[in-house]
């Protein structure tokens, strides 16, 4: 009988054996940040709606169309987090983390929620690994953050992705540029919704992917050509440090990104194996965010890497993952006295750090051996009447197809030697 219940639409579930790959990828994506001194932050999954409205921007699709917003029992407007940066900034301000040494360097991982139209690689519950580095304007930090994302994808085994880089200017030079762009856009033939977007945030029109819009904005003024001297110097220095770090990138003068807080450096990683949803990660500077949220005037830079899409990209590149959590040995007890021996041995193996499982429900040899194969274990440890009488265990190598009796007192040490 199949249940009437289904997972919510657009929510990917990772079940064994694929879930092992998901976990391994999430761990690999966070490894470079951990090695670079970023501390872990565990954030709330929901926050005040106003935090995202003020932090991410009311004109963004993410906030205006895609948030899961509800009123809680205390009549507060709450939203499931659509992204991590605003929550990190809230926490840094609330906990006064910026009063210690700067920059504050943090990483996080977990689910985020966006009510998008589901399709391959676009989910309503999506998983990210992110970092945020707060309180430094040093372009070497921009390069560090971009390089960490690059190293994360390389650590997963990806080679075919592209890093796109742009600079969006700052509070000093952006308004004049936005005015110029807005003026240019009034002369274009755009539909009503795009015209409205041009009014609210003209930069967003620049990276509209529709060919008819692209044709209209082909001759539009670009942010990089209108940077103030400080932003231009910052961008040059960032590229210099990135070159030092051996990172390769493409200049992408129309890259804008979908969240409103970005200033100066903006970047995105795309993968050709993913079709329309090609963005596997992205980020940038957000120098006005902390003060917009009521904190001090500290700058910041960070990224979010999409774990679900990285998994799809790894599959597209046929990256092989071994499952570190598979058990090493699988115990096959035949008969009740053997089941007691097996339970004791299982405990001893696990106490010694050896991954071990056993056949439950008094199965016969055939059924138990099938379970051993399914477990992925290298060794089946068979205990029958003969073995109990001799004080041994039959150790069968499931890969080589060989077997030999081993004194029961030696089994744990033998298996510990095989586990590495």
Residues within the interface to ligand HAM (CB under 6 A): 83-85, 114, 116, 121-123, 126, 128, 130, 132, 258-259, 279-284, 302-304, 306, 308-309
Contact 324, 24 (CB under 8 A): yes
Closer Cβ to ligand HAM, 115 or 180, answer by number? 115
Closer Cβ to ligand HAM, 83 or 357, answer by number? 83
3-state secondary structure at position 382: strand
* Eight-class DSSP state of 13: -
Closer Cβ to ligand HAM, 148 or 224, answer by number? 148
Closer Cβ to ligand HAM, 194 or 299, answer by number? 299
Closer Cβ to ligand HAM, 239 or 264, answer by number? 264
Q: Smallest distance from the beta carbon of 45 to ligand HAM, in angstroms? A: 14
Task: Quote the distance between the C-alpha of residue 58 and its chain's center.
Answer: 25
Q: Smallest distance from the beta carbon of 305 to ligand HAM, in angstroms? A: 6
CA distance 317 to 211: 28
Q: Smallest distance from the beta carbon of 57 to ligand HAM, in angstroms? A: 12
For 157-193, b/e burial (b = at least 16 CB within 10 A) is: ebeebebbbbbbbbeebbeebbeebeebbeebebeee
Could you tell me where the beta strands, DSSP code E, fall in 49-190?
Answer: 69-71, 77-80, 104-113, 125-134, 162-167
User: Which residue bears the tokens 């993952």?
Assistant: 321
Phi, psi of 302 (to 5 degrees): -170, -175
Cβ within 8 Å of residue 275, ≥6 positions away: 120, 121
CA 164 to each of CA 150, 192, 290, 385: distance values in angstroms, whole numbers, following the listed order: 11, 29, 26, 66
Q: Smallest distance from the beta carbon of 145 to ligand HAM, in angstroms? A: 8
Q: Smallest distance from the beta carbon of 306 to ligand HAM, in angstroms? A: 2
- Closest-by-Cβ residue to ligand HAM is 306
Q: Smallest distance from the beta carbon of 175 to ligand HAM, in angstroms? A: 22
Q: Smallest distance from the beta carbon of 395 to ligand HAM, in angstroms? A: 45
Q: Smallest distance from the beta carbon of 148 to ligand HAM, in angstroms? A: 12
Contact 89, 73 (CB under 8 A): no
Q: Smallest distance from the beta carbon of 197 to ligand HAM, in angstroms? A: 17
Instruction: Please state at what angle helix 192-200 crosses helix 174-186, rounded to 10 degrees.
Output: 160
Closer Cβ to ligand HAM, 110 or 258, answer by number? 258
Could you tell me which of 62, 70, 122, 102 has the C-alpha nearest to residue 86?
62
Closer Cβ to ligand HAM, 85 or 194, answer by number? 85
Closer Cβ to ligand HAM, 86 or 190, answer by number? 86
Closer Cβ to ligand HAM, 81 or 378, answer by number? 81
Q: Smallest distance from the beta carbon of 304 to ligand HAM, in angstroms? A: 3
265 membership: H or E segment, kind and range: strand 263-270
Check residue 80 and give left, alpha or beta (phi > 0: left; psi -120 to 50: alpha).
beta
Apex 305 CA angle, 62 and 320, nearest 5: 135
User: Which residue bears the tokens 């073995």?
Assistant: 387
Closer Cβ to ligand HAM, 103 or 304, answer by number? 304
CA 212 to each of CA 181, 197, 216, 281: distance values in angstroms, whole numbers, following the listed order: 18, 16, 6, 26
């Amino acid at each position: 009988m199949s249940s009437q219940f289904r997972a919510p639409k657009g929510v990917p579930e990772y079940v064994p054996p694929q879930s092992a790959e998901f976990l391994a990828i999430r761990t690999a994506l966070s490894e470079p940040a951990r090695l670079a001194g970023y501390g872990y932050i565990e954030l709330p999954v929901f926050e005040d709606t106003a935090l995202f409205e003020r932090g991410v921007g009311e004109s963004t699709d993410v906030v205006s169309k895609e948030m899961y917003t509800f009123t809680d029992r205390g009549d507060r407007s709450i939203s499931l987090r659509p992204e991590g940066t605003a929550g990190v900034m809230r926490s840094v301000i609330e906990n006064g983390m910026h009063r210690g040494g700067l920059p504050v360097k943090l990483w996080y991982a977990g689910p985020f929620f966006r009510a998008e139209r589901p399709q391959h690689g676009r989910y309503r519950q999506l998983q990210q690994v992110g970092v945020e580095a707060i309180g430094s304007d040093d372009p070497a930090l921009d390069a560090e953050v971009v390089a960490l994302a690059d190293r994360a994808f390389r650590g997963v085994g990806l080679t075919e992705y592209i890093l796109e880089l742009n600079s969006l200017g700052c509070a000093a030079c952006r308004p004049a540029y936005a005015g110029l762009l807005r003026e240019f856009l009034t002369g274009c033939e755009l539909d009503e919704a795009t015209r409205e977007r041009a009014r609210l945030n003209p930069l967003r029109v620049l990276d509209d992917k529709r060919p008819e819009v692209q044709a209209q904005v082909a001759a539009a003024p670009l942010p990089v050509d209108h940077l103030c001297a400080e932003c231009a110097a910052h961008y040059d220095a960032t590229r210099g440090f990135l070159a030092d770090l051996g990172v390769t990138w493409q200049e992408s003068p129309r890259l804008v990104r979908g969240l409103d807080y970005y200033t100066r450096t903006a970047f995105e990683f795309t993968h050709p194996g993913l079709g329309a949803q090609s963005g596997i990660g992205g980020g940038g500077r957000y120098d006005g965010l902390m003060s917009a949220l009521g904190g001090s005037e500290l700058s910041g830079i960070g990224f979010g890497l999409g774990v679900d899409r990285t998994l799809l990209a790894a599959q597209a590149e046929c990256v092989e993952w071994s499952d570190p959590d598979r058990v090493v040995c699988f115990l096959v007890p035949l008969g009740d006295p053997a089941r007691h021996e097996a339970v004791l041995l299982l405990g001893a193996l696990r106490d010694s750090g050896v991954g071990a499982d056993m056949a439950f429900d008094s199965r016969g040899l055939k059924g138990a051996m099938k379970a051993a194969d399914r477990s992925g274990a290298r060794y089946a440890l068979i205990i029958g009447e003969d073995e109990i009488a001799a004080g041994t265990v039959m150790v069968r190598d499931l890969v080589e197809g060989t077997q030999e009796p081993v004194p029961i007192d030696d089994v744990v040490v033998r298996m510990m030697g095989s586990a590495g």
